[in-house]
Chains A and B, each alone.
Chain A
Amino acid sequence: MGSSEERLLESLTSRYSEWIMEALGDLSHDLNFLITDPCIAGHPIVFASRGFLTMSGFSREEVVGRNGRIFQGPETDRRSVMEIREAIREERTMQISLLNYRKDGTPHWILFRLYPVFGRDDARVVHFVAVQVPIPRRRSSSGRQVARGGSLFGACRNEVRSDLEFRCCLPFDSYEDSDNRGLKGEEMREAGDSEKQKAIDGAAEILSKLMQYSKLTGRVVCVKRPTSPQPGFSHISSSLCTSLGRIKQSFVLTDPHLFDMPIVYASDAFLSLTGYGRDEVLGRNCRFLGGPRTDVDALKQINESILAEKACTVRILNYRKDGTSFWNLLHISPVRNSTGKIAFYVGVQVDEGAKNDVHGLSPAVRQLGAVGAVKVAVRSLSSCAGSSSRSSS
Chain B
Amino acid sequence: MVSLTRREGDYPFVNQNAIQEQLKSCEAPLRGFETLVYLVCASMQRNGAYDEFEFTADDEQSLLDTLILSQWEDRAWKGQLSFDVTSCETKILGGKNLTAQLNEEWNSYFLKEFERKAFQPSGGIIKPSYLENNIEDIFFCVARGEMEKSVFFPITEAPQDGILIIVNINPVEYGHIFLVPYCNYQRTQCIARAIQLITNTASEVNNSSFRMFYDYFSAMNADRTYFQASYFANPLPVELLPTIPIFGTSTDEIYIQEVSDYPLNTLVFTSKNLKKLADIMGEICWTLQHLNTVFNLLISDCGTKMYLFPQVHLPVTGRHLHTWECGGYFVYSRSSDFSDVCELEITQRLASVSLDTKGFQSLKKRCLGITDKLA
Contact = CB atoms under 8 A, between A and B. Distances in A.
Interface in A134-179: 147-148, 152-153, 155-156, 159-160, 163, 167, 170, 172, 174-175
A69 B65 CA distance: 23
Contacts of A333: 73, 77
A372 B69 contact: yes
B369 A174 contact: yes
B4 to A, nearest CB: 20
A390 B70 contact: no
Contacts of B336: none
Interface residues of A, number: 74
Contacts of B365: 170, 172
A21 interface: no
B330 interface: no
B97 A68 contact: no
A79 B268 CA distance: 12
B92 interface: yes
A57 B58 CA distance: 26
B250 interface: yes
Given A243-B233, A339-B90, A369-B67, A88 B55 contact: yes
Contact of A153 (B154, B242, B342, B368): B242
Contacts of B248: 147-148, 182-183, 185
Contacts of A340: 86-90
A159 to B, nearest CB: 8
Contacts of B56: 38, 42-43, 67, 85, 88, 242, 245
A380 B66 contact: no
Interface stretch (B46-54, B218-226, B282-290, B312-320): B46-54
Contact of A372 (B53, B73, B368): B73
A365 B63 CA distance: 11
B63 A373 contact: no
Interface string B214-241: 0000000000000000011110000010
10 contacts: A81-B54, A85-B54, A147-B248, A148-B248, A246-B61, A311-B77, A369-B69, A372-B68, A375-B86, A380-B234
Interface of B: 50, 52-61, 63, 65-74, 77, 84, 86-94, 97, 151-152, 154, 173-175, 209, 231-234, 240, 242-250, 253, 255, 260-261, 270, 341-344, 361, 365, 368-369, 372-373
Interface of A: 1, 38, 41-43, 67-69, 72-74, 76, 78-79, 81-82, 84-86, 88, 147-148, 152-153, 155-156, 159-160, 163, 167, 170, 172, 174-175, 182-185, 242-243, 245-248, 311, 333, 335-336, 338-341, 359-361, 365-373, 375-377, 379-380, 388-391, 393
